[in-house]
Amino acid sequence: MPRILVLLPVLFFLTLTSPAPAMGPGADQRQLIEMPDRMKAHMLANMRDHLKALDEIFDALAQDRAGDAAQIAEGRLGMSSMRAHGAGHMGPFMPEAMRNFGTGMHRAASRFARAVETADIEPSAKSQRALYAAFRDITANCTGCHDAFRLH
């Protein structure tokens, strides 16, 4: 067998497993959001807490603690969490679309909390699908915002 035919699968594998080239300067097309450094730090801390809350929600659901999952969703991500996160003072620095993603995420989390409570009362396949769809509505807002905007 010619040596090139032996090397082709190896080269193909190396191509697939090689890291993609890093994006160069100017390649990031997301809108840069300008705000004071302390506010950026606050916003990033809030977003990290949102990720931790999502993880804790999954953990609670995995342990069959739907009530805890609903409480985490509403208390840490839902509409009632906005005051605790200090969202009001950041709004003026955000473009309208970014504010809409944020508010959409908080509203979706409140809807998710209600869906969790319904699924706990009525554990059917239909309520489980509604639960998954409600969770996806939360993360869709996160993904949309992170696809459109950046702080750094």
Each residue's pLDDT tens digit, 60-101: 999 999 999 999 999 999 999 988 777 778 888 899 999 999
Low-confidence ranges of the chain (pLDDT < 50): 1-2, 4-8, 10-16, 18, 20-22
pTM: 0.78
125-148 vs 96-121: helix axis angle to the nearest 10?
A: 160
Beta strands in the chain (DSSP E): 31-32, 149-150
pLDDT of residue 90: 85
pLDDT of residue 7: 46
